[in-house]
């Protein structure tokens, strides 16, 4: 259901109290014989009334539809919205603005942007939108029963989620006395994934199979021959079908049945990057490494799962390979934000908050997971984690952003060491 027009920024002359006073003074001036004053007041009353009515009628039967653009982007990519504005009435629209509030992180920004006006800033602050930049597209004179089509180009800047629910349509009268606005009906959301970097998957493939992996991340079962094919010079001799060769037949190689490896499941402890000394840049780098590994392992057909602790305004997230695609994993990473800072009542210092995972679901799925990888900022932040006592070193490894120290019998690896070109052994 469309919102009713809101008189968002109009002259005081067109307000209902002002219209009442203008009419009252006009009648009084005429009653006391002040014809010129009465005529002037009547002119002001008619001008203000027509402006108010014109502005209200301008938004009627004006609709905006939005299509195109992928719902998931990586930083540096561009999204193009196909937009269509229709004026389905006889009254023309003198001027029209489409207003785009932006996310506070400015994860997605249009090419048509500007700093917000002073009168817009309070409403943007209350809605949690950016108060440093807004998007806007202006048009002049939309004729009766005219359809206007145009493109809006947006740039993905950093990780985050952007919703178009706040988009608004603005117009008004031709005298510049009244401005009205209405929300645009659209609930699309766009995720800007973490930035991808070059990483190496060797650690995860080694732990899954305890051996070198195939180039596609799948294993071959040598006990099941699916078919044979002609020999090529690039084939390994161990795949040669020597029985057929001994019979004098042309050289062939066996094609074995492929089997998928066990799954990899990542647990991201975002709260370990917060606390009294927050590390937001390090967290973004860690999320980039994680997203890059997820994409690379997915390309090699390694099933991956992901668990995120409770974040700002959202419940703990558990995504398992059986029901989740790589797009869902990346969307979860794009949306994740740590809990709002909690301060000590006495000192006012920011307190470190323990991560809140949905452990019951994790414990139930432990039997089907090949290996868990717990990601945190450092070893010190792992103290008192009951999850590590339940899922011990036999099924879990620790990845820390800082150079790790020994932690019990757990395998500990530096997360930054997974970057391509770094020592990730």
Dihedral angle computed from the Cα positions of residues 149, 155, 156 and 158, in that order, rounded to the nearest 10 degrees: -140
Q: Which helix (H) or strand (E) holds 224?
A: strand 219-230
Gap between the Cα atoms of 411 and 389, Å rounded: 14
**Domains of the chain and CATH, by start:** 1-192 (2.60.40.10), 229-258 (no CATH), 263-418 (3.40.50)
Q: Which residues have CB under 8 Å from 233's CB, separation 6+? A: none
| Model pTM score | 0.78
Query: In the prediction, which pLDDT does 215 show?
Result: 35
**210 token code pair:** 């305890």
CA angle 218, 219, 223 (to 5 degrees): 150
Query: In the prediction, which pLDDT does 425 show?
Result: 39
Query: In the prediction, which pLDDT does 207 show?
Result: 63
Gap between the Cα atoms of 137 and 135, Å rounded: 7
pLDDT in tens, the chain (425 residues): 445 666 677 888 888 888 899 899 889 888 888 889 889 989 988 998 888 888 888 888 888 888 877 788 999 999 898 889 999 988 888 899 999 999 999 999 999 899 998 888 888 888 889 999 999 999 888 888 889 998 989 999 999 999 888 899 988 888 888 888 888 887 888 999 999 999 988 888 876 654 333 333 445 555 556 677 787 777 776 777 767 767 777 878 877 655 555 788 999 999 889 877 888 999 999 999 999 999 999 888 888 999 999 888 788 888 888 677 899 999 999 999 988 877 767 776 777 788 888 888 888 888 788 889 999 999 888 887 888 888 888 888 999 998 888 888 888 999 999 986 554 43
């Amino acid at each position: 259901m469309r919102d009713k027009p809101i008189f968002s920024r109009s002259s005081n002359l067109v307000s209902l109290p002002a219209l009442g006073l203008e009419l009252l003074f006009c009648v009084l001036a005429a009653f006391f014989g002040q014809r010129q004053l009465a005529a002037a007041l009547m002119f002001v009353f008619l001008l203000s009334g027509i402006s108010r009515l014109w502005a209200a009628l301008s938004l009627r039967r004006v609709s905006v539809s939005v299509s195109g653009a992928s719902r998931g982007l990586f930083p540096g990519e561009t999204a193009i919205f196909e937009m269509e504005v229709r004026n389905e009435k006889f009254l023309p629209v003198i001027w029209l603005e489409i207003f785009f509030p932006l996310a506070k992180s400015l994860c997605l920004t249009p090419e048509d942007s500007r700093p917000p006006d002073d009168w817009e800033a309070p409403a943007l602050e209350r809605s949690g939108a950016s108060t440093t930049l807004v998007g806007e597209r202006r048009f002049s004179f939309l004729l009766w029963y005219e359809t206007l089509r145009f493109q809006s180009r947006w740039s993905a800047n950093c990780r985050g989620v952007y919703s178009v629910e706040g988009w608004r349509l603005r117009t008004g009268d031709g005298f510049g006395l009244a401005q009205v606005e209405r929300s645009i009906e659209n609930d699309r959301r766009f995720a800007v994934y973490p930035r991808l970097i070059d990483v190496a998957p060797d650690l995860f493939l080694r732990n899954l199979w305890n051996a070198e992996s195939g180039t596609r991340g799948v294993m071959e079962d040598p006990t099941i021959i699916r078919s044979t094919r002609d020999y090529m010079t690039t084939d390994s001799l161990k795949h040669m079908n020597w029985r057929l060769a001994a019979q004098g037949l042309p050289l062939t190689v066996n094609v074995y049945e492929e089997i998928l490896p066990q799954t990899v499941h990542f647990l991201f402890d975002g709260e370990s990057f917060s606390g009294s000394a927050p590390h937001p840049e390090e967290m973004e780098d860690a999320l980039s490494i994680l997203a890059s590994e997820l994409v690379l392992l997915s390309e090699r057909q390694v099933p991956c799962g992901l668990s995120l602790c409770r974040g700002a305004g959202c419940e703990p997230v558990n995504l398992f390979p059986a029901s989740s695609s790589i797009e869902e994993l990346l969307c979860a990473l794009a949306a994740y934000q740590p809990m709002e800072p909690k301060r000590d009542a006495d000192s006012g210092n920011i307190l470190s908050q323990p991560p809140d995972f949905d452990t019951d679901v994790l414990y139930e799925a432990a039997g089907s997971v090949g290996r868990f990888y717990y990601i945190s900022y450092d070893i010190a932040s792992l103290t008192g984690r009951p999850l590590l006592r339940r899922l011990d070193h036999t099924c879990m490894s620790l990845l820390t952003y800082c150079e790790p120290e020994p932690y019990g019998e757990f395998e500990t690896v530096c997360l930054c060491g997974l970057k391509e070109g770094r020592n990730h052994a």
